[in-house]
Chains A and B, each alone.
Chain A
């Protein structure tokens, strides 16, 4: 028995009385509750903020990456790079093991013209000619289209109906709308012609002098004649009720505006919709550039949620844009492109592939810009990372403040428990044993506080949209304005690793805060402690 006690005292095992006293102190020292609440609030806030930031970040990454492929090779020459297949072959020689998909496209700046109630609305857009067969291999382009069939397979043909089925306020679109519009316009034109015929005898103006032009909104049937029509199909040969111009997909913000109505509900107003015709004006590919003016029929809309994309992109078929821009060599019929996009295998090193391609196509020889999608969005992604880091530092300061609360509380408890510390030492407890009581107390307090914070934080994240609605009702202020964020719900992602480091950080701070009081307790002279009053 003697040896047994000797061994147990001299070993560094955990002793029962430490935990018994820790639990009792936790239950009976209500002043510690304040420290626990501080830790709980700090941990819960960190979890909520990190989850929301991770959700936003992931959503943003998803959308940024949605249109941009992993690697983008852009040619700065107006005529683009000839022979994309040859380029692709060379690319496969350099990094073929990492490439799982590729697509060639043409990017060209363009002017979009929309006729809206007789007024011309113009927008500067980035006009992309893409290959419907391969473009989805390198991006999530199809996912953001409004028509469900286009989402599974992009098609530049106008659909009968069924656009944006989950949107109640989306106007009727497709062939159904187009036929109705054409019928209405024709009826209006006939009525106008009839009225002109009745008025003609009384009209004093000669046919050579038709009078001043009419401004402002009008109900005219045909689009305003503002562009050079030389490249169009003759109007007499074209029946808009059964035929369409080359298909175009517009970024939703290029042809709509979002605002609140008088009841404060968010409403989208569309200047055109699938089934309408628009004009695109863009330079051709010759050295002596000329403007190409072409009519297109809107066949769908693209909505990624990223205003940068939704307000600047328009898409058509690659082969059609190549033809319009004259990017086909008449002798060899080899087509040129301006961009090659690559999709890399999961886990491939984007920067390594980019660098390898840059070595193969050096900038002093080729006018190519080779970037990863992260390079393109570098400043934005860096800003989000910086924001997350700063938020984490600031929020950890909250827990650090809680740590100082623990420090002060523990010093008070050590003073209060001075005689008990003397008693424990008189009963044979070592200085280390007494120290471990307060370290264990700090550990326990950290665990309880961060455990409660973990549960509270997870519950908050789980019900964050309900809580946001409640705050909106109480304050009358919209927490996440959909006209700004394009989110119907607050996105959240809980990373288990984040939970672990937040918990570990909080418990660590609680332990560190208890070291000084624990040292003081351990170094107390037993006689002085027993005589303390």
Chain B
């Protein structure tokens, strides 16, 4: 049941618990996490490997379901919504980028960017709006500086280029929130900084709300808000940082 929330809160997690089972042994990953993402800010979730931050992100993206607790998106409870609503939420309301990019290798960069639109629209509907969709995909690629690589397959691109293509794909459906899981985790420092700068620009120029998962404190420092995860619990909210 939807509850009234702060008008600036885009995403809110309440008392989230999640355990995995291995050989009949319950391994708790999240133990009563309360967390929220505020509209227009870059929120960082920082923690060491195994702290549960990626699990939390999967729950927030409805890729998995919590054992107990609630997740609300813009006031609507999303974690127990019907499957079709959760599919639409991932397709349209949020964008996700991953550490390992997860581009579809059979498709070119622009086709990968078009993928969310193709998933969200029927073949006929897509056909009717194909020119409009292609223009937007090109604009997104241009936005991330990858228009010149539009027809290239992922195997023909560098790590940084693939992550840019993944960002363009995540922005294709004009999402309310961008979930970034270790966006620089698989890149060298310089390329990682470029990607970080791109995300910061998207936040500052377009007002895109970003939740960034990272294990790197230096990256977390660039966020407006920073939460630390440890042993499945949110430790504290770090002081709000100002980007220079």
Contact = CB atoms under 8 A, between A and B. Distances in A.
B117 to A, nearest CB: 9
A317 interface: no
Interface string B89-128: 1111000101000111111000100011011111111110
B106 A430 contact: no
Interface string B59-101: 0010110000000000000000001100111111000101000
B31 interface: no
Nearest to B98: A530
Given A527-B58, A530-B63, A20 B91 contact: no
Contacts of A168: none
Interface stretch (A65-73, A402-410, A416-424): A416-424
Given A5-B92, A21-B106, A426 B123 contact: no
B63 A526 contact: yes
Contact of A10 (B84, B107, B127): B84
B122 A428 contact: no
Nearest to B129: A4
Contacts of A530: 63, 98, 102
Contact of B61 (A15, A426, A433): A426
Interface residues on B, range: 20 to 34
Contact of B91 (A19, A25, A427): A427
B158 to A, nearest CB: 19
Contact of B87 (A14, A19, A430): A430
Contacts of A422: 102
- Residues of A contacting B: mostly: helix
A13 B123 contact: yes
A363 to B, nearest CB: 68
- Residues of B contacting A: mostly: helix
Contact of A24 (B58, B103, B106): B106
B120 A419 contact: no
Interface in A428-474: 428-431, 433
Contact of B119 (A2, A427, A525): A427
B121 A5 contact: yes
Contacts of A9: 84, 87-88, 91, 120
A457 B115 CA distance: 39
A427 B106 contact: no
A426 B87 contact: no
A14 B123 contact: yes
Contact of A423 (B83, B102, B124, B125): B102
B63 A428 contact: no
B120 A8 contact: yes
A24 B84 contact: no
Nearest to A422: B102
A17 to B, nearest CB: 4
B120 A5 contact: yes
A428 B116 contact: yes
Given A20-B107, A428-B92, A433 B119 contact: yes
A206 interface: no
Nearest to B120: A5
Given A9-B84, A9-B88, A427 B125 contact: no
Contacts of A13: 122-125
B88 A6 contact: yes
Contact of A428 (B98, B106, B119, B126): B119
Nearest to A24: B106
A15 B119 contact: yes
A93 to B, nearest CB: 66
Contacts of A425: 63, 90
Contacts of B105: 420
A264 interface: no
A17 B106 contact: no
A225 interface: no
Interface string B122-142: 111111000000000000000
Contacts of B89: 428
Contact of A20 (B64, B96, B111): B111
Chain B CB within 10 A, most for which of A16, A25, A530: A16
Nearest to B116: A427
A9 to B, nearest CB: 5
A209 interface: no
A28 interface: yes
A348 to B, nearest CB: 51
Contacts of B104: 21, 420, 423-424
A428 B118 contact: no
B122 A14 contact: yes
Given A8-B120, A9-B120, A16 B88 contact: no
A144 B61 CA distance: 82
A11 interface: yes
A527 B102 CA distance: 12
A142 B158 CA distance: 83
Given A424-B119, A425-B63, A428-B119, A16 B91 contact: no
Contacts of B84: 9-10, 430
Nearest to A423: B102
B61 to A, nearest CB: 7
B119 A11 contact: no
B90 to A, nearest CB: 4
Contact of B127 (A11, A16, A24): A16
Contact of B121 (A2, A8, A10, A526): A8
B83 A430 contact: yes
Interface in A1-45: 2, 4-6, 8-11, 13-17, 19-21, 24-25, 28
Nearest to A29: B106
A15 B107 CA distance: 16
Contacts of B83: 430-431
The 9 A-B residue pairs with the shortest CB-CB distance, nearest first, are: A428-B91, A13-B122, A24-B106, A17-B118, A16-B118, A423-B102, A428-B90, A16-B126, A16-B123
Given A14-B124, A16-B118, 6 more contacts: A4-B121, A5-B121, A17-B118, A20-B111, A422-B102, A425-B63
6 contacts: A9-B87, A15-B122, A16-B118, A427-B115, A428-B119, A530-B98
